[in-house]
Amino acid sequence: MEYVLKYDDLEIVVNSKGAELEKIMYKGKDYMRVRDEYWNRISPILFPIVGNLKDLKTYISGELFLIPQHGIARDSEFKLFKRTNNQLIFYLKYNETTLKTYPYKFMLFVVFRIINKRLQVRINVVNKGKENMYFNVGGHPGFRIPLRDDESFEDYSVEFEKTETFDAPTVEKNGTLNFDVTDKYKDVDKISLNYKLFAIDAIVIPQIKSRWVKLVNKKGKGIKFSFKKFNSLAIWSRPNAPFVCLEPWQGYADRYDSNYDFLTKDDLVRLRKEESYTCEYNIEILD
């Protein structure tokens, strides 16, 4: 079911399936991508894993679990928890189906809050079980570019808050990451977009220093994308596709040489009974 919320300068549309943000409208222009032949999603929530597991399998407390790419949240039906004049709150609670794929008892809340020309997307995870629970979590919003008919994909760039130096791991054919073979980026303050960057897959920036990036055209128009409580950021598109994704991650896909033990995954969040973890990203229109 789609929910529409209009407040201040923005109008958003959220689908209860996956609590997926489908539209951000400002002055009649939609800044989110649309589903097409390149990708059938718009802005999925990634939980309890990010990316792929090696061979799509993992062991938790000695038991085998098969968790699909990016986890279970994006294909689950969320319920509306609360609605106010400027926010929508959705939740997903563990059930018999989720426990077969991911053994922990959880509540997952996703809050969409409009503040002037900014949309705040807050993700809150609560441990409802008696034992410690472990997970990765992330966002995957896809943005329409170019935004104007007289522009091209190459007219846009991703500008960083801070100068970044990093080794971007190679993405293997099975979606795992190879940190032994990397693309080296040194003293980067922006990445000018072109489709060659995404010939294989995403640019993964582990342990990013910046807390915001801008996705803008040559005139500085576009969006400012800020993120809290996420360690990594990925930038992803597909050759000739009219969009780019800015993906804040706490954790990432399995390493190519993974030992299949879930508790050895990078950047896992651990919650004790009734503890919660909150992260968020913000999309601000630059117009």
Rounded-to-integer distance, Cα 98 and Cα 83, Å:
26
pLDDT at 160: 98
pLDDT in tens, 217-251: 999 999 999 999 999 999 999 999 999 999 999 99
User: What's the pLDDT at 91?
Assistant: 98
Predicted confidence band at 127 (pLDDT cuts at 50, 70, 90)? Answer: very high
Q: Domain 2-286 has what CATH class? A: mainly beta
Question: Cis omega before residue 239 (within 30°)?
Answer: no
Average pLDDT, the chain: 97
- Percent helix, percent strand, percent coil in the chain, to nearest 5: 10, 55, 40
Instruction: Report the pLDDT value the prediction gives residue 41, as an integer from 0 to 100.
Output: 98
**pLDDT at position 154:** 97
Q: Give 11's pLDDT tier (boundaries 50, 70, 90).
A: very high
Per-residue pLDDT, 172:
96
- pLDDT score of 244: 98
* Interval 79-117: pLDDT, tens: 999 999 999 999 999 999 999 999 999 999 999 999 999
Contact 112, 14 (CB under 8 A): yes
Task: Write down the pLDDT at residue 99.
Answer: 98
Domain boundaries, the chain: 2-286
Phi, psi (deg, nearest 5) at residue 63: -105, 140
Can you tell me the mean pLDDT for 64-91? 98
